[in-house]
Amino acid sequence: MKLTALEVFHVKPHWMFLKVTTDAGITGWGEPGAAGQARMVAAVVDELRPALLGQDPGRIEHLWQTMYRGLHYRGGPLLMGAISGIEQALWDIKGKALNVPVYDLLGGSCRNRIRMIAPCGGTSPQDAAFQAKALRLRGYSAVLSGKDGLTHNLDSMGTVEKFVARVAAVRQEVGPTVDVAVDLHGRATLAVAKRLLSLLEPHMPLFVSEPCAPENVQALTQLTASSVVPLAVGGRLYSRWHFREILERQAAAVLQPSVSHVGGIFEARKIAAMAEVNQINIAPHSPTGPIALAASLQLAACTPNFSVQEHTGMSNKWDLGHGYLTTPFLVHEGYIDIPKGPGLGIEVNEDMLRERASTGEAEPPRMAQATDGSYTE
Residues labelled catalytic: 185, 285
> For residue 105, which amino acid is it?
L
CB of 168 closer than 8 Å to CB of 131: no
Residues 6+ apart with CB under 8 A from 316: 322, 323
Helix axes 77-98, 290-302, angle to 10 degrees: 70
* Nearest one of 328, 240, 257 to 299, comparing CA atoms: 257
271 by DSSP, 3-state: which? helix
Long-range contacts of 243-247 (CB under 8 A, 24+ apart): 243/271, 243/274, 243/275, 244/274, 245/217, 246/217, 246/220, 247/274, 247/275, 247/278, 247/280
Nearest Cα to Cα of residue 117 among 81, 84, 141, 82: 141
Distance between CA atoms of residues 362 and 360, nearest Å: 7
Q: How far apart are CA 210 and CA 77, in angstroms?
A: 17
**Cβ count within 10 A of residue 224:** 20
Which one, of 300, 292, 280, 236, lies nearest residue 262 by Cα? Answer: 236
